[in-house]
Structure 1
Amino acid sequence: MTQQSTPHRSTPRRWRIGGLLGIGVLVNYFDRISLSVAAPQLQQEFHLSSSDLGVLFSAFFWTYALLQIPTGLILDRFGVTRVGRWGALLWGVASTLTACAGGFGGVFVARALLGVAEAPGFPVSAKATGYWFPRRERAMATALFDAAAKFSNVIGVPLVALTVVNLGWRWGFGLTALLSLAYFVAFTLIYRDPSQDSKLSAEEYRHITEGGAAAEGVSQAGSLAMLGYLLRQRKVWGLSIGFAAYGYVFYLFLTWLPGYLVQTMHMSILKSASYAAIPWIFATLADLLVGGWLIDHLIARGHDETRVRKGVLLGGMLLGLAVFGTTTTSDPLIAIVWISIALSGLAAAAPVGWSLPSLIAPRGGTGTVGGIMNFANNMMGAVAPIVTGIIVGNTHSFTNAFLIAGFMLLIGVLSFLFLLGRIEPIAEPPASLAK
């Protein structure tokens, strides 16, 4: 132990680490949304159809999703510090390659490589949050990095849009490459696990560990054995199916909202960026205030943890059904209201989902549970853009795309309700699975 004796109230090291993780997700999502903003210029320059755009939007998610489970296994084996550093470095490399792409094929390959690079991003943040925060602070800590995913659209879309309009789409990707490399430097200099952080006081360390933080260390079972064990757990399936439904709607809007406003509402790139920021502002607030502060506040006051977390989880998913409202209007303001309600509900539910791997996983299995959950989530990130592109290309309307999104959410609600059960740790694997 290298902790100092300074009281944790004067040096809230854990919240600084939480802020660092939030900045990482913010930069991570700048990389993801850049293609959505640049899409109109790419479509014109390379003569792409709506279906072509859907394929490009999905390229990132195929590799990103397929690597989630391997990433979880690697993360549980090698730890947050090493995996987080290498991942952050590769973000910048992949974004640079996107900026240099010469056509559809080049953009597709570069985006697929970006998916490889960013695969550890969210699992690293989820596992680090489990190490650094006691259970009663876990919702707010998780909301910090999850809200950054939503807030990236508030500042990232206008920022990238200004860059794209004034300097061209290549500079939009160049900007995100520079930000990614800057975060790599910051993470390398700042992040350590709690037991290895010399700037963490002994008192704050006790506050973290005695409050139920996830135990540091590697899995006591072999990686594949742990994976097989977790895949047999109903809780893991309930979490994964429910989060996949959330992911379908979230990634539909993440990739297609600017295009929806340009194509259906006939807006310019800059105007669509300003309108698209509105739902994400409300989503960010809902993420922090409901998915974060309110949950921790209610649990601290003695309310049942399972009821609080599942109440917000199910309530947020049900509010997401406001996506059906977008099918009833051609007024952009009304459409933005419906989308704001839907994304706010989903944003409130998301920190609960991301806090669950560290709350239900057996020792050393948080990364694997997070990998399984995020695999299901991001496979929908691959599917939703393609399905939406095909529907829009064939019908010249987003109506059926939004209807499918609503039905996906209904499946997710049923999964959380009947499969997840109580939010409590899964039993340790039997001794026969030990290394």
Structure 2
Amino acid sequence: MSTGSIAATPERTKTRFGRVRWQIAGILGFGQFVNYIDRVNLSVATPEIMKSFDISAAQMGVVSSAFLWTYAMLQLPIGTIIDKIGVRWVNRVGVFLWAVASFASAAAGGLGLLIIARLLLGIGEAPAVPAAWKAIGQWFPKHERGTATSVFDGSSKMANVLGVPIMAFLVSTYSWHAAFIFTGVTSLLFLAIWWFLYDSPKTALAKGRLSETEYEMIRAGGAEDEDAVTTSSLHGVGYLLRRRKTWGLALGFASYTYAYYVLLTWLPGFLEKQFGVNLLKGGLYTMIIWLVAVIAQFLIAGLLMDRWVARTGHVTRVRRIVLVTSLLASLAVTGAGYVDSIAMAVVFLSIGAAGLAVSVPAGSSIVSLIAPEGYTGTMGGIVNFVANMIGISAPIITGIIVDTTGSFAGAFIFTGVVLAAGILSYTIVLGKMERIAPPPTRQPSPSA
């Protein structure tokens, strides 16, 4: 079946297929929520940790960035490991490690153990996104992947909405240790859910959890074959890195990641510097902005995009229209640096955050559309590696521009330039969203 089009599914037959795949989407979404709560807790606890350990802002910056060192560097190998071993076991080990990292953070009595705990957290959480992308590719037909990805990625945005007040309550009422104990407990809860409830489609079918009808619908809709054979890890990575489509997708997704990190790390600071709001009030405005983003992501990138794909069968055209339109909308963040009213700034930032959120399901669902059979994890690892390596620079570049100019306007303009480059990557560089041919099979040497 061609990647460019799929057969439309009549509305009247949807109820016959079963809902197991949506239970899987819910499990992936809860995992992403816990995943990002693990990242919010440190930012909220930062002032108390600095007081407790009597460390400088520069030392705290090392602690804050330690997670990304291991997380970003492991994206390339972890994707190939997922393709070889499978989503289920890799995530079991990963979630266990990030639970251990949370409890180790709570028990840390000094800077050294805290840094080690954050490095371990990066190792544990490294498989989460590539594994989820591969799981969605195996569990969902092409015309439902937008909604499935919205459930998954929208949960990370909800962590921004709910995580800040929860962590703030725990830190202010008890201590900063309580925030990490909370995430450790929720991590163990997710580990139990994942361990007992997640299966691949074929395993779920064999256990009787998944009906034959739903399984056939998933496969007929273009789901990835979970039994596809891959070549050696390095060969697969090298092959995909030489493909133009890989770089079109990776750089396009990196533009979103850069802009997202700018808002994630600098939004409270921008509101305080530009409008003089305190932490509590700034947190309220931040919640509004991310809540708008979550709603837009689910309604537009999820339901609307999937129905459009199902009705027309145009996988490439629909995703490209959604991507270009959403990234153009995300350029609204540039306007926030030039307004005098905080209400108008929130409007511009809400539109921009919504545009970014809408672009994620359209962009990340392309991974399973263009990756060769059996290489979705490898492709996801490459895309997430490139995106995070570029995204890591976002807080630094933004801080340099603000220090140099004394304003966020220039930083937001630079973010707009990055987003414009992302539009070009998604359109001109990526090209048609069709599956890349698999790597050629290596023939054994005569001596072998």
Structure 1 length-normalised TM: 0.92
In structure 2, the residue matched to 1:381 is 391
The one of 129, 147, 151 aligned to 2:154? 147
Q: Report the Cα distance in structure 2 between the residues aligned to 1:103 and 1:322, rounded to whole angstroms.
A: 42
In structure 2, the residue matched to 1:181 is 188
Q: Report the Cα distance in structure 2 between the residues aligned to 1:77 and 1:277, rounded to whole angstroms.
A: 40
Q: Deviations over 1:295-340 (max 9, x none)?
A: 1111111152211101111111111111211211353322222111
In structure 2, the residue matched to 1:100 is 107
In structure 1, the residue matched to 2:27 is 20
State yes or no: 1:64 paired with 2:74: no
Instruction: Report if the CA contact (8 A) 2:143-2:310 is conserved.
Output: yes
CA-CA distance at 1:385 after TM superposition: 2.5
In structure 2, the residue matched to 1:360 is 370
Q: Report the Cα distance in structure 1 between the residues aligned to 2:108 and 2:57, rounded to whole angstroms.
A: 20
Q: Deviations over 1:122-158 (max 9, x none)?
A: 1111111111111111111111101111111111122
Q: Report the Cα distance in structure 2 between the residues aligned to 1:347 and 1:422, rounded to whole angstroms.
A: 22
Instruction: Report if the CA contact (8 A) 1:140-1:296 is conserved.
Output: yes
In structure 2, the residue matched to 1:298 is 308
Alpha carbons of 1:63 and 1:224: their partners in 2 closer, same or farther (altered >3 Å)? same
| Map 1:182-221 → 2, pairs under 5 A | 182-197=189-204, 198=207, 199-221=209-231
Q: Report the Cα distance in structure 2 between the residues aligned to 1:412 and 1:51, rounded to whole angstroms.
A: 32
Q: Deviations over 1:267-303 (max 9, x none)?
A: 4433332221111111111111111111111111115
Instruction: Report if the CA contact (8 A) 2:17-2:217 is conserved.
Output: no
Q: Report the Cα distance in structure 2 between the residues aligned to 1:361 and 1:270, rounded to whole angstroms.
A: 44
Instruction: Report if the CA contact (8 A) 2:329-2:355 is conserved.
Output: yes
In structure 2, the residue matched to 1:234 is 244
In structure 2, the residue matched to 1:135 is 142
Task: Tell me the secondary structure at the aligned position of residue 312 of structure 2.
Answer: coil
What is the identity, as a one-letter code, of the residue corresponding to 2:234? L
State yes or no: 1:323 paired with 2:330: no
CA-CA distance at 1:48 after TM superposition: 6.1
The one of 329, 342, 348 aligned to 1:332? 342
Structure 2 length-normalised TM: 0.89
CA-CA distance at 1:78 after TM superposition: 0.3
Q: Deviations over 1:138-186 (max 9, x none)?
A: 1111111011111111111221122222223222222112111110111
CA-CA distance at 1:213 after TM superposition: 0.7
- Equivalenced residue count is 429
State yes or no: 1:116 paired with 2:123: yes
Instruction: Report if the CA contact (8 A) 1:84-1:124 is conserved.
Output: yes
**Structure 1 unaligned runs (5+)?**
1-6
In structure 2, the residue matched to 1:372 is 382
CA-CA distance at 1:20 after TM superposition: 0.6
Instruction: Report if the CA contact (8 A) 1:62-1:382 is conserved.
Output: no
| Map 1:256-271 → 2, pairs under 5 A | 256-271=266-281
The range that moved more, 201-210 or 382-391, is 382-391
Q: What is the percentage of aligned positions where both structures have the same residue?
A: 46
Q: Report the Cα distance in structure 1 between the residues aligned to 2:24 and 2:88, rounded to whole angstroms.
A: 12
Q: Report the Cα distance in structure 2 between the residues aligned to 1:201 and 1:103, rounded to whole angstroms.
A: 53
Alpha carbons of 1:108 and 1:405: their partners in 2 closer, same or farther (altered >3 Å)? farther
In structure 2, the residue matched to 1:404 is 414
Q: Report the Cα distance in structure 2 between the residues aligned to 1:326 and 1:112, rounded to whole angstroms.
A: 35
CA-CA distance at 1:250 after TM superposition: 0.7
What is the identity, as a one-letter code, of the residue corresponding to 2:350? S
In structure 1, the residue matched to 2:361 is 351
Q: Deviations over 1:17-43 (max 9, x none)?
A: 111111110110111122222234345
Q: Report the Cα distance in structure 2 between the residues aligned to 1:160 and 1:23, rounded to whole angstroms.
A: 17
Q: Deviations over 1:353-384 (max 9, x none)?
A: 21111110111110000000000111133222
Q: Deviations over 1:210-266 (max 9, x none)?
A: 221111125332111111111111000000111111101112222332343445544
CA-CA distance at 1:392 after TM superposition: 4.7
**Coordinate RMSD, CA, aligned:** 2.3
What is the identity, as a one-letter code, of the residue corresponding to 1:332? I
What is the identity, as a one-letter code, of the residue corresponding to 1:241? L
State yes or no: 1:33 paired with 2:43: no
Alpha carbons of 1:106 and 1:337: their partners in 2 closer, same or farther (altered >3 Å)? farther
Q: Deviations over 1:38-80 (max 9, x none)?
A: 2343455556666655544332222211111111010001001
What is the identity, as a one-letter code, of the residue corresponding to 1:411? A
Alpha carbons of 1:202 and 1:391: their partners in 2 closer, same or farther (altered >3 Å)? same
State yes or no: 1:288 paired with 2:298: yes
The one of 435, 441, 447 aligned to 1:425? 435
State yes or no: 1:253 paired with 2:263: yes
What is the identity, as a one-letter code, of the residue corresponding to 1:92? A
Q: Report the Cα distance in structure 2 between the residues aligned to 1:86 and 1:164, rounded to whole angstroms.
A: 29
**Structure 2 unaligned runs (5+)?**
1-13
Q: Report the Cα distance in structure 2 between the residues aligned to 1:384 and 1:101, rounded to whole angstroms.
A: 29
The one of 77, 93, 96 aligned to 1:89? 96
Q: Report the Cα distance in structure 2 between the residues aligned to 1:282 and 1:433, rounded to whole angstroms.
A: 53
State yes or no: 1:224 paired with 2:231: no
The range that moved more, 323-332 or 221-230, is 323-332
Q: Report the Cα distance in structure 1 between the residues aligned to 2:96 and 2:295, rounded to whole angstroms.
A: 30
Instruction: Report if the CA contact (8 A) 2:230-2:375 is conserved.
Output: no
Alpha carbons of 1:24 and 1:60: their partners in 2 closer, same or farther (altered >3 Å)? same
Q: Report the Cα distance in structure 2 between the residues aligned to 1:400 and 1:94, rounded to whole angstroms.
A: 37
In structure 2, the residue matched to 1:3 is none
